[in-house]
């Protein structure tokens, strides 16, 4: 079962817990579909009303911040050898190319790599552990972590929720508009067909069962 289907099938309280847990586990360095979980919950809030968007956003923010902080601690203790070990076990996510790319981003952007990494799938997994492994000062990491978590989790939830509400209203309006257009189209088609049929009968009365009158000379002959 896909994660989005799974989230849609559980009670609202469990949805909040799953969103926070999945995003938290992803943030500490384990590749999970955190963004899919967040978007699914936000769409549910917009279309079904079964979950509260503010609670979804809060759980996602807490999961992101706590998960990244745990990841930072793990990376600080394990260092780069931890990533080398993970690269051998999970080359798809922690291969040398992925690690080099993430490390270059950190060296170039510093704490901003943690902030913007929240919006990029690859860096979202690496941000916490790699910041710890590279010995980034924790206060810098924490500022970027909190700001990134709030902007990404809160912003994504708000954006998806608002788009979902607008789309839902548009679809409802479209259903009525479509019904009216279909009715008018049907009436117009019937009127055109009726006019064409009347014109055809006028031009060809024999086709409607009428009979043209024979000339008098022909009858007398």
Q: Rounded CA gap, 34 and 100, in Å?
A: 23
Given this model, what pLDDT does residue 221 score? 47
Q: State the Rg of the chain over Cα.
A: 33
pTM over 0.85: no
Listed residue (153, 192, 138) closest to 58, CA to CA: 153
Sorting pLDDT into bands at 50, 70 and 90, what band is 108?
confident
Given this model, what pLDDT does residue 91 score? 63
Higher-confidence residue of 177 and 72: namely 72
Sorting pLDDT into bands at 50, 70 and 90, what band is 179?
very low
Given this model, what pLDDT does residue 111 score? 81
The string of pLDDT tens digits covering residues 114-129 is: 888 788 877 788 788 8
Residue 132 CB partners (closer than 8 Å, separation 6+): 71, 72, 73, 74, 75, 76, 77, 141
For 135, phi then psi, to 5°, come to: 60, 40
Kindly report the average pLDDT of the chain as a whole number.
75
The kind and range of the H/E element at 214 are none
Pull the structure tokens for residue 44: 């549910």
Cα pseudo-dihedral 69, 139, 157, 35, rounded to 10: -40
Relative orientation angle of helices 34-47 and 155-203, to the nearest 10 degrees: 60
Say which range, 6-15, 168-177, 192-201, has the weakest mean pLDDT.
168-177
Say which range, 35-49, 59-73, 83-97, 170-184, has the weakest mean pLDDT.
170-184
Phi-psi group of 80: left, alpha or beta (phi > 0 → left; psi -120 to 50 → alpha; rest → beta): alpha
């Amino acid at each position: 079962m896909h994660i989005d289907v799974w989230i849609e099938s559980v009670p609202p309280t469990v949805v909040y817990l799953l969103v926070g847990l999945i995003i938290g586990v992803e943030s500490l360095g384990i590749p999970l579909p955190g963004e899919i979980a967040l978007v699914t919950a936000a769409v549910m809030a917009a279309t079904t009303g079964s979950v509260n968007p503010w609670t979804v956003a809060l759980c996602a923010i807490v999961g992101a911040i706590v998960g990244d902080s745990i990841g930072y601690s793990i990376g600080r203790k394990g260092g780069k050898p931890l990533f080398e070990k993970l690269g051998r076990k999970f080359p798809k996510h922690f291969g040398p190319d992925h690690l080099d790319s993430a490390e270059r981003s950190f060296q170039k952007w510093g704490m901003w790599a943690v902030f913007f990494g929240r919006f990029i799938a690859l860096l979202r997994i690496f941000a916490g552990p790699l910041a710890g492994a590279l010995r980034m000062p924790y206060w810098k990491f924490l500022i970027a972590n909190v700001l990134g978590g709030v902007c990404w989790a809160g912003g994504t939830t708000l954006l998806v929720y608002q788009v979902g509400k607008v789309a839902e209203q548009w679809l409802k309006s479209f259903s009525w508009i479509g019904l009216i257009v279909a009715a008018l189209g049907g009436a117009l088609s019937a009127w055109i067909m009726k006019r064409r049929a009347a014109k055809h009968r006028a031009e060809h009365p024999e086709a409607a069962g009428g009979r043209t009158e024979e000339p008098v000379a022909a009858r007398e002959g």
